[in-house]
Chains A and B, each alone.
Chain A
Amino acid sequence: MSFVLVQVIVGGLLLGAVYALFSSGLTLVWGMMNIVNFAHGDFVMLGMYVAYVVYTLMGGGPLLGAPLATLVLATLGVVVYFALIRDIMKGPMLAQILGTFGLALLLRYSVFWWFGANFLSMPQNIVGGTFAVAGLRIEASRLLAGVVALLVTLGLHLLLTRTSLGSRMLAVAEDATAAQLMGIRPDTMQAIAWAIAAGATGLAGALIANFFYIVPTVGETLGIVAFVTVSLGGFGSVPGALVAGLLIGVIESLSGYLIGAIYKDIIVYVLFLFFLWFRPQGLMGKM
């Protein structure tokens, strides 16, 4: 195997880990309450802007930007849940789609109005460098994002399967009325789910900001990838999103390098549709 090919695969894996990272919040919200959050890409975008503001105004690097973005977005997640989601959940599917889509536009154009349409970029910081391992070039910021993606996926998985909070959340997801009869407040559980999902998304944004450009419309570019990752991985499955993200990352990189970049989306989507034909619930989703 040629050396460049190894670099392509490593790049693809790191890219895939990032895809997985920003998809985990979307899959969690779906798993918990069957809502597709169309504002998801714009949550990523907000996380990027929080990181940027932290860096430029307070001089704090990703070590400060990442936790702050998590906190800000988690708070926003709770606010969004009580102000919007709680009510539209009771409505028809169309209300959910339009509600979160409206939220996406609101967030996007608020940032537009405040920051303007210019492209921003994080200045060089402690994770800005690149190091070479056996001749392979690995970007520190992507590696950090990749490691955090693994940790977040693992953390969310443990939370849902090993803790009592996780059990209560899953109970609400299974049957909210029954859970309520057992003394679990669905409202609280779902608000917590939104806080975790939005927080993870904010964290993803803050880490992606280290190697991607920042612009109010970046959510459009990244959002689509999140939807594909989540549907391939299985709606609601956090580990599924990780595996799917890595798969998509590697397939994109390989086909982009070997066949040509304008064909890579065709290849990804053909494989995607072909796969869903055999397994419509996704890699790890439940029927």
Chain B
Amino acid sequence: MTLKHVSGLLCAAAMSFGLASGAQAQDKVVKIGAILPMSGGTASIGAHAKAALEVAMDIINNAHPELGNLPLAKNAGLAGLGGARIEVVFADNQGNPATGQNQALRLITEDKVAAVFGSYQSGVTLTSSAIAEKYGIPFLNSESVAANLTERGFKWFFRTTPIATDFAKIYTDFLADMKATGAKTDAIALVHDNTEYGTSVANTISTAFKDKGQPIALDVAYPVNATDVQGQVLQLKDKKPDVIIMISYTSDAILFAKTMQSLDYKPAILLADDAGYSDPSFIKAVGKISQGVFNRSSWAVGPSGSPSAIIADMYKKKSGEEMDDTVGRQMQGFFVLADAIDRAGSTDPAKIQAALKATDLKPEQLMMGYKGVKFDDKGQNVLASGLIIQLQDGENYVSVWPKANAEKAPTLPYRGW
């Protein structure tokens, strides 16, 4: 309700501004609904994403010739719609699939958004995108990795991020490489929460290792937002796996780090599946006791003066945080959506859908390290890719694998504190 009032006021302000300055293009606004966790256990993610989308809006709505080949940066607004401005209507999903669904309905039926963007948690993306599908509104997802999201035969769902199957392959290849250098990687334990994200990613990874002839040795599931994980850490300490793969959101990731320290347990290799481990507040809170943790990422800041470095700088000014993989993938997804609307030259859902299907962005047009953006029939970006990073000093992740993209060599074993 408040959000509606605020956006109403913003519209009014934008219109009066347009009238006062006499510029006709200024009053054309394309509304995009963004469903994000603004409260609840992952609220930090929502706050970062909001700052990222505001930077993206700034880049699209104002002229930023310094950003080179990035689509929509050069001139102000969407050229394909006569310089129309992009405006994001933010909606809070509270990290809850049912709330996400209601918010999608509200954005589509009341705010009349041209497209929906979101919703971070795979479980929330699952429900909110079903509403967009029903109403025939394009839904762009940039960060949910549960493989099944693009296996539902949806026509209006597009996903730019690499997904669980991509990363499962990265993990098997990475660990095979580590084994070749002498590390022990025989017994692998999966630690994951019981959300859509946790269970589906764990399944995908477990299948990938099984196919390689190396079944997962131990599967430790826990309820999300746990109050205590001593039992789980002791289970791991007891079974002594060589490698632990963590699939956790921020709150649980922090609790695991603290509990592992207090019970003095370190696996030889700790490999995290993004999510909580990419949240800057994880690094600030427990980075110093998680030294040497591996993580996956598609983000690299690049040399200073490069578009990615400039964007990272803009983001830091806005949010006070360092750019991380999650917000990077979100901004990238948003640019892809805006680019499609621009090429559609219209806010007609069918035209945006057609433009999304025709998307073919090259690596030099992206801020993320994907090999490009091109959707298959299921709406999955087939050129998405990633690499392995490591928190070597407890403060900043550096890329360590594959060798071609590595800033530093991976160090073993996991140091912890």
Contacts and interface: CB of A to CB of B under 8 A. Distances in A.
A11 B234 contact: yes
Interface in B222-237: 222-223, 225-232, 234-235, 237
Nearest to B261: A130
Given A117-B47, A119-B281, A261 B254 contact: no
B220 interface: yes
Interface in B253-268: 254-255, 258, 261-264
Contacts of A272: none
Interface stretch (B35-43, B98-106, B148-156, B375-383): B35-43
Given A119-B279, A212-B255, A261 B262 contact: no
Contacts of A212: 255, 258
Interface string B194-216: 10000000000000000000000
9 contacts: A119-B251, A119-B279, A121-B254, A137-B262, A137-B263, A139-B262, A217-B41, A253-B231, A262-B222
B255 A253 contact: no
Closest 10 A/B residue pairs (Cβ)? A256-B231, A121-B285, A261-B222, A117-B43, A257-B231, A118-B281, A119-B281, A11-B230, A117-B44, A117-B47
B234 A213 contact: no
A139 B233 CA distance: 14
Nearest to A2: B238
Given A8-B231, A257-B234, A261-B231, A215 B223 contact: no
B175 interface: no
Given A118-B284, A119-B279, A211-B262, 15 more contacts: A4-B238, A117-B38, A117-B46, A119-B285, A120-B284, A130-B264, A213-B251, A215-B43, A215-B44, A215-B251, A216-B43, A256-B230, A257-B234, A260-B220, A261-B222
A222 interface: yes
Contact of A137 (B194, B221, B264): B264
Interface of A: 4, 7-8, 11-12, 15, 109, 112, 116-121, 130, 137, 139, 142, 211-213, 215-217, 220-222, 225, 252-254, 256-257, 260-262, 264-265
A8 B284 contact: no
Central interface residue in B40, B220, B263, B285, by most chain A CB within 10 Å: B285
A253 B226 CA distance: 12
B47 A262 contact: no
A118 B47 contact: yes
A15 B262 CA distance: 13
B230 A15 contact: yes
